[in-house]
C-alpha cells in the first residue's frame, strides 16, 4: 500500500479523497494556490504545499509544480480528483515516469477515451450499443451528406476532441448540413486545435444515464449500476440519482454485463463511467469518462461501497476481492449540487460565508469543504456542497431531500438551495418523468 498520497485537487473532492486515505491509514499531502491558503483541504491534510498563484493554469494545472510537491514530500501516489488534471493523459504518463502511481486508469486508456471517435470505435468492437452514425471520422462534406442521408435527419456533428457538450452542431435537413458542417469544424479547430468530426443521429429527447465501473489490474471488472444525470443546464448537472427512475433492474444487469465484459477485454483499470443516451427503451453509448465523477456519492450510497478506497487499493495492485454477484443495490439516492450562484441568473456569487449549518440525520450526507468564516474564491468552479440523501424508496429519498434542503443554512453568498427546493416540489420531477431538456424549460418558465 502507498506510504503517502498527494491529492492534486481542492475543495470538497480533496476532502473526500483525504477521508478515504485516512481510513486506509495513509498520510496525505494537500497542494493549494495562494487563494486557498485558508481552505479546509489544506487545514485537514497531514502536510501541504503551496504550488502557485490563484489562476488554475499556474497552480492546480501546473504539472511541474505538482510533481515537485510530490517529490519534496515523499508522496508515492497522486490522486487527481475530477476536473483539473484528472483526464490529462500526459500528466498520468509523467506521474508514472517519475516513479509515482497515478490513481486512475493508464495514460493510454485516458488518451483513447479522450478521442471520442476512438472511444466509440473501441466500444462498438466490444458490443456496446452506439447511436447510429458515421463509422469514425467524416472527412468532407460529401461524406457527411452520405452519412446523413443514410441515417436520416436530424443529425449531430460532433468534434472528436470534444465532449461535455463542446463542439456540437445539429443539422435538421440536407439544406442545413453545409452550415452546420462549417461551424462544427471551425469550432473544433478553434477550441481543440483538432478539426476531426463525426456524425450521429440526433436524439431529440434522451435521458443521460451513466454506468459506474471499477476494474482491478488482474482482469476483474464490476459495475456499480447507473446514475441518471438528465437534470442539467448548459451541460452543468444540478441533480443526479441512483438508480435511474426510467430503467429496470433487468436493464441495469444487461447493460452492466455488456460493459464489464467489454472493459475486461480492453484491459481497462481503475474507475470509469460510460455515458449513454437513453430514449425509446434503447441505450446508446456516447462517451467514457476516465475519472472519479462529481456524482459518485449516489452510487456509493446505494451500493454501500467507498469508490475512492477502491481506486486507491486498485492503484496499489490489490484485487477487487469480490465479484458482480457481491454488488447489491439498496434503496435510492439523490444528490443536489449546491453552488455559490444566484439561483435566478446563475451568476457566480463568491464571498465570505458568515453562517453555515449543514443538515443531518438518517440517510443524509454532505460533501463540502465549507465552514463559517470561509471566503469562496472567485477563481474556481462554484460548487460549495453536495447534499446527498439515501432512503429505501425514491419517494422517501425525495421527502428526505426536501427536509434536508430546508435545514441547510448558508449565509453570506447566494446559493442554488432555493432552486433545488423548487425542482423537488415539481410533479414532473416527482414522477421521474424528465429528459435532458426538462430543467432548462423549467428554469425558463419560472
Closer CB to ligand MV4, residue 205 or residue 319? 205
Residue 208 interacts with ligand MV4 (CB under 6 A): yes or no = yes
Q: Kindly state the smallest distance separating residue 175's Cβ from ligand MV4, in Å.
A: 20
Q: Tell the burial category of 147 from Cβ atoms under 10 Å away from its Cβ (0-12, 13-18, 19+).
A: buried
For cell 460529401, name the residue: 142
Q: Kindly state the smallest distance separating residue 10's Cβ from ligand MV4, in Å.
A: 25
Residue 165 interacts with ligand MV4 (CB under 6 A): yes or no = yes
Residue 163 interacts with ligand MV4 (CB under 6 A): yes or no = yes
Q: Kindly state the smallest distance separating residue 284's Cβ from ligand MV4, in Å.
A: 7
Q: Kindly state the smallest distance separating residue 113's Cβ from ligand MV4, in Å.
A: 12
**CB under 6 A: which stretch of 156-164, 295-303, 305-313, 387-395 binds ligand MV4?**
156-164
Mention every residue, 6+ apart, whose C-beta is less than 8 A from residue 240.
Answer: 227, 228, 229, 231, 295, 298, 334, 335, 337
18 backbone φψ class: left, alpha, beta (φ>0; ψ -120 to 50): alpha
* 126 to 145: interface string for ligand MV4, x by CB under 6 A: -----x--------------
**CB under 6 A: which stretch of 41-49, 118-126, 194-202, 398-406 binds ligand MV4?**
194-202
- Distance between CA 166 and CA 188 in Å, rounded? 8
C-alpha cell at 139: 472527412
Residue 287 interacts with ligand MV4 (CB under 6 A): yes or no = yes
Q: Kindly state the smallest distance separating residue 218's Cβ from ligand MV4, in Å.
A: 31
| Count of residues in contact with ligand MV4, rule CB under 6 A | 17
Cα–Cα nearest to 278, from 210, 358, 346? 210
**DSSP annotation string for 30-98:** EEEEGGGTT-HHHHHSSEEEEEE-SSGGGTTT-HHHHHHHHHHHT--EEE--SSTTTT-HHHHHHHHHT
Q: Binding ligand MV4 by CB under 6 A: which of 2, 102, 198, 202?
A: 202
Is residue 291 annotated as a catalytic residue, yes or no?
A: yes
Q: Binding ligand MV4 by CB under 6 A: which of 31, 39, 107, 156?
A: 156
The active-site residue out of 16, 111, 227, 291 is: 291
Residue 65 interacts with ligand MV4 (CB under 6 A): yes or no = no
Rg for the chain (alpha carbons), in Å? 22
Find out whether 189 and 195 touch, Cβ atoms under 8 Å.
yes
Helix, strand, or coil (residue 332): strand
Q: Binding ligand MV4 by CB under 6 A: which of 7, 145, 180, 436?
A: 436
Find out whether 161 and 111 touch, Cβ atoms under 8 Å.
no
Q: By the criterion CB under 6 A, which residues form the site for ligand MV4?
A: 131, 156, 163-165, 200-203, 206, 208, 232, 235, 277, 286-287, 436
By annotation, the residues acting in catalysis are 291
Amino acid at each position: 500500500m502507498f506510504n503517502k498520497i498527494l491529492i492534486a485537487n481542492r475543495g470538497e473532492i480533496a476532502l473526500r479523497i483525504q477521508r478515504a486515505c485516512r481510513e486506509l491509514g495513509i498520510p496525505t499531502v494537500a497542494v493549494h494556490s495562494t487563494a486557498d491558503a485558508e481552505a479546509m483541504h489544506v487545514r485537514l491534510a497531514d502536510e501541504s504545499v503551496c504550488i502557485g498563484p490563484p489562476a488554475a493554469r499556474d497552480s492546480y494545472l501546473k504539472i511541474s509544480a505538482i510533481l515537485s510537491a510530490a517529490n519534496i514530500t515523499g508522496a508515492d501516489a497522486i490522486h487527481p480528483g475530477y476536473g483539473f488534471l484528472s483526464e490529462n493523459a500526459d500528466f498520468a504518463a509523467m506521474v508514472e515516469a517519475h516513479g509515482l502511481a497515478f490513481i486512475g486508469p493508464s495514460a493510454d486508456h485516458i488518451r483513447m477515451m479522450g478521442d471520442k471517435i476512438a472511444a466509440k470505435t473501441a466500444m462498438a468492437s466490444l458490443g456496446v450499443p452506439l447511436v447510429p452514425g458515421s463509422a469514425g471520422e467524416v472527412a468532407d462534406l460529401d461524406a457527411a451528406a452520405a452519412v446523413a442521408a443514410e441515417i436520416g435527419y436530424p443529425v449531430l456533428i460532433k468534434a472528436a476532441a470534444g465532449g461535455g457538450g463542446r463542439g456540437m452542431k445539429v443539422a435538421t435537413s440536407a439544406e442545413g448540413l453545409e452550415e452546420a458542417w462549417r461551424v462544427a469544424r471551425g469550432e473544433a479547430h478553434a477550441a481543440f486545435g483538432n478539426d476531426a468530426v463525426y456524425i450521429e443521429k440526433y436524439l431529440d429527447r434522451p435521458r443521460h444515464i451513466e454506468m459506474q465501473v471499477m476494474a482491478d489490474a488482474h482482469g476483474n471488472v464490476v459495475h456499480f449500476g447507473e446514475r441518471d444525470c438528465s437534470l442539467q443546464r448548459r451541460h452543468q448537472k444540478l441533480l443526479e440519482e441512483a438508480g435511474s427512475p426510467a430503467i429496470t433492474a433487468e436493464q441495469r444487469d444487461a447493460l452492466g454485463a455488456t460493459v464489464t465484459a467489454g472493459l475486461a477485454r480492453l484491459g481497462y483499470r481503475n474507475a470509469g463511467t460510460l455515458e449513454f443516451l437513453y430514449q425509446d427503451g434503447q441505450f446508446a453509448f456516447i462517451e467514457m469518462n476516465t475519472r472519479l465523477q462529481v456524482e459518485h456519492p449516489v452510487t456509493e450510497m446505494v451500493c454501500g461501497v467507498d469508490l475512492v478506497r477502491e481506486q486507491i487499493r486498485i492503484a496499489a495492485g490489490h484485487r477487487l476481492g469480490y465479484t458482480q454477484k457481491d454488488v447489491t443495490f439498496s434503496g435510492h439516492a439523490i444528490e443536489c449540487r449546491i453552488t455559490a450562484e444566484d439561483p435566478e441568473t446563475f451568476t457566480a456569487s463568491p464571498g465570505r460565508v458568515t453562517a453555515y449549518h449543514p443538515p443531518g440525520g438518517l440517510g443524509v450526507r454532505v460533501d463540502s469543504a465549507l465552514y463559517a468564516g470561509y471566503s469562496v474564491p472567485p477563481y474556481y468552479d462554484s460548487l460549495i456542497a453536495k447534499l446527498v440523501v439515501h432512503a429505501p424508496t425514491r419517494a422517501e429519498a425525495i421527502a428526505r431531500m426536501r427536509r434536508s434542503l430546508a435545514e441547510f443554512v448558508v449565509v453570506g453568498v447566494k446559493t442554488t438551495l432555493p432552486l433545488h427546493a423548487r425542482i423537488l416540489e415539481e410533479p414532473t420531477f416527482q414522477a421521474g418523468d424528465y429528459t435532458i431538456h426538462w430543467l432548462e424549460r423549467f428554469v425558463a418558465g419560472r
